[in-house]
Amino acid sequence: MSTNIPCVLMRGGTSRGPFFLADWLPQDPDARDRTLIAALGSPHELQIDGLGGGNSLTSKVAIVSRSTQPDCDVDYLFAQVSVQEARVDTRPNCGNMLAGVGPFAIEQGLVAPSGLGTTRVRVYNVNTRSRIDVQVCTAGGQVHYDGDVRIDGVQGTAAPVLMNFLDAWGAVTGQIFPTGQRIDRLQGLDVTCIDAAQVMVLVRATDLGLRGDETPAELDANTTLLTRLEALRLEAGQRMGMGDVTHSVLPKPVIVSPGVQPGSVVSRYFTPHQCHRSHAVTGAIGVAAASVLPGTVATDERHAPSAGLRRVEVQHPAGRIQVDVELSDVDGQFKLVQAALVRTARKILEGTLFVPEIAAAH
């Protein structure tokens, strides 16, 4: 016997996973997590008995509902399902999966199309208690997935999804620099612990004896490096007030180096125990923010900090992500106002998911 659940499988940015209305899933968090683990096919390295793809980028879930917030349309809860363990983490956010939330919410009747060429969906991210405005193409009153926008890491083109992060600064830890410092000394290395759309610990490539442009395969094969990054991550979690993060995907280790051109930064983002084949959207925002704010390990010294909008190109293994970061100057202190970038999304299939009843009811 199995439990039948409606499901929409979508690609969001460079990630993929099932999208659910909250009402489709068990309301008890433990029962919900067991259902998600079974739905993705974990724990198994190939997730052969579920929808997962055997990689953290394809073992993700988006849960959407009408918002409980007065200034938002929908609530979005992101769930990272472990591939090889029966574990679900709802502490992080995922900006790539977020790209599918607006289209999904409109098609499920949670948000009415505007009647214009685009519809704004005001999304409240439950994980980080922050708001993101998402612009979806809805010409003729319907969601359009086809278009001419290309993002690195995805073949072909699609309609643009514009995402504007409004208040994701310090959303998890309470402040953008959780340790109170812009540079800390951990494990003999200068690092920046930052909570800007994603909670991360940034370290310079040169300090690790790296060029910065290594491939994910090269970095994943460097077991000495991975051991060092994990020790760094665990200590950073303690310093950031997150406690023992052994079984959490936060904070994310990120290796940074200057790009060739001013206004660019090379990033290698870990998920956290493997190097991302492209880059997390939220991570790109955090790296871009660190590059324009003074005094971090990623600060682009080729540009003096200034109020206003600046475009930062985050270069990753599959290409690049352009992030528009806006700063304000408050009594000589530069503060993040918002950050925006473009992603794409596609609905892959819609139907009924059959979850083993013993897993859902255990």
pTM (2 d.p.): 0.86
178 in a domain, yes or no? no
pLDDT at position 47: 97
The domain of 216 spans 184-337
Torsional class of 170: left (φ above 0), alpha (ψ -120 to 50), beta (otherwise): left
Q: How many structural domains are present in the chain?
A: 2
pLDDT at 124 over 60: yes
Domain containing residue 111: CATH number: 3.10.310.10
Q: What is the largest CA-CA distance in the chain?
A: 64
Q: What is the pLDDT of residues 230-248, one digit of tens each?
A: 999 999 999 999 999 998 9
165 in a domain, yes or no? no
Could you give the dihedral angle defined by the CA atoms of residues 51, 56, 57 and 61, in that order, rounded to the nearest 10 degrees?
50
pLDDT at 279 over 60: yes
* Distances from the Cα of 161 to the Cα of 73, 249, 330, 339, angstroms: 17, 26, 31, 14
Instruction: Specify which residues 342 forms β-bridges with.
Output: 162
Q: Which two tokens stand for residue 135?
A: 């612009």
* 203/274 same-domain check: yes
Provide mean pLDDT across the span 317-326. Answer: 95
Q: Which two tokens stand for residue 306?
A: 């200034």
Q: How far apart, in whole angstroms, are the C-alpha atoms of residue 314 and residue 259?
A: 8
Length of the chain in residues, anyone?
A: 362
Q: What is the mean pLDDT of the chain?
A: 94
135 in a domain, yes or no? yes
Provide mean pLDDT across the span 331-359. Answer: 91
Closest CA to 344 of 105, 158, 156: 158
Q: What is the pLDDT of residues 131-153, one digit of tens each?
A: 999 999 999 999 999 999 999 99
* 134/198 same-domain check: no
* 349/333 same-domain check: no
* 145/277 same-domain check: no
* 231/94 same-domain check: no
Q: How far apart, in whole angstroms, are the C-alpha atoms of residue 46 and residue 89?
A: 19
253 in a domain, yes or no? yes
Provide mean pLDDT across the span 252-266. Answer: 96
110 and 122 in contact (C-beta within 8 Å)?
no
- Among the residue ranges 23-27, 38-42, 114-118, 273-277, the one predicted with the least confidence is 114-118
281 in a domain, yes or no? yes
Q: Which two tokens stand for residue 161?
A: 């999804």
Burial 173-193 (b: 16+ CB within 10 A, else e): beebbbbeebebebeeeebbb
* 319/354 same-domain check: no
pLDDT at position 359: 56
| Run of H or E including 292 | helix 281-292
Q: For residue 270, give the DSSP letter.
A: B
* 188/273 same-domain check: yes
Closest CA to 222 of 274, 160, 265: 274
* 145/279 same-domain check: no
